Structure 1
Amino acid sequence: MSFDAGSLMLQSVPFAGTLDISYDKVEPGLAIARMADRVDLHNHMGGPHAGVLFSVAELASGAAMLAAFGDQLSRATPLVANAAIRYTKLALGDIVAEARLVGSREEVVALLDAGKRPEFEIAVEVRTADGTPVSEVTVFWTLRPNR
């Protein structure tokens, strides 16, 4: 199965359009998402709201997940199982989120082949456009077998 995971995210997740997310790069297990600074999404400190930072990270993780496991969509539904975020610095300006699959794609597919519901981690670094790190996010995804 060959497809553009970034485009699929934008088409299948309307919220991504609400935030006007774009993808700079998407390849198996990696996605870089970008969101321009918007005053209507600011917090009381003048930067993107904490929920916005989390959302951009989660949407980046989704594109990385689809790029790694899109060929499994006919037999499993991807779902976020858990997530955690650590805010490290006030974000100001445009936001970039780089998401990477942690672990082995092969192990996840083997668990799915065995009839199990695998969970796997995608780590996301969120930074400003100048490269300043502002938060670290871990998103745990699962592939729920279609029955």
Structure 2
Amino acid sequence: MSETLPSTGELLTATVPMVRTLDLQYGETTAEHAVVHLPDQPAFHNHVGGPHAGAMFTLAESASGAVVLGAFGDQLGRAVPLAVRAEIAFVKLAMGQVTATARLGRPAAEVVAELDAGQRPEFPVEVSIRRADGAETGHMTIVWTLRPNT
């Protein structure tokens, strides 16, 4: 019998209720970047017919969490990743399906070295939100920390 580990997207879908609520769909997830899609769903539209700002915030935060898990999943036995703060900018009208692409803002090795030194490292994750035509509709910076288990 062959056992396979769940993908990052499968893991987050199974454990984070908002991912299921919004029907977020995970594309590629690595230690450097993650791609997550928010399907066009009228139940989550705003007053102009596009995805609600709260849904886009959740999309971007979920993409950031996927890259954090990809980069630091091997550290979960000794530290908990937590979002510290976030800033989002909505720059163009979003309509239809939108996609968030998150990128780790610091080398993972630097962050782990700080954790090894007894620090509580912080690191940014940059997220771009785009429409199907490729136009960027928003961007978000989420600062994460690895809180050591004590």
| TM bin (shorter chain) | over 0.9
Task: Give the superposed CA RMSD.
Answer: 1.1
Q: Which moved more, 1:4-13 or 1:47-56?
A: 4-13
Question: What is the TM-score of this pair, normalised by structure 1?
Answer: 0.96
Q: Shift of residue 3 of structure 1?
A: 5.7
Distance 2:74 2:133 in 1: 35
Q: Which runs of 4+ in 1 moved over 2 A?
A: none
SS in 1 for 2:134: coil
Aligned to 1:98: 101
User: What displacement does 1:96 show?
Assistant: 0.3
Q: Does 1:82 align with 2:85?
A: yes
The yes-or-no answer on 1:62 pairing with 2:62 is no
Q: Percent identity?
A: 49
Q: Identify unmatched segments of 5+ residues in structure 2.
A: none
Q: Structure 1 residues 74, 103: CA separation in 2 closer, same or farther (over 3 Å shift)?
A: same
**Number of matched pairs:** 146
- Rounded Cα–Cα distance in structure 1 between residues aligned with 2:103 and 2:6: 19
Residues 1-147 of structure 1: matches in 2 within 5 Å?
4-147=7-150
1-side partners of 2:147 and 2:63: how far apart?
20
User: What TM-score, normalized to structure 2?
Assistant: 0.94
Separation of aligned partners in 1, 2:73 and 2:14: 14
Which structure 1 segments of 5+ residues have no match?
A: none
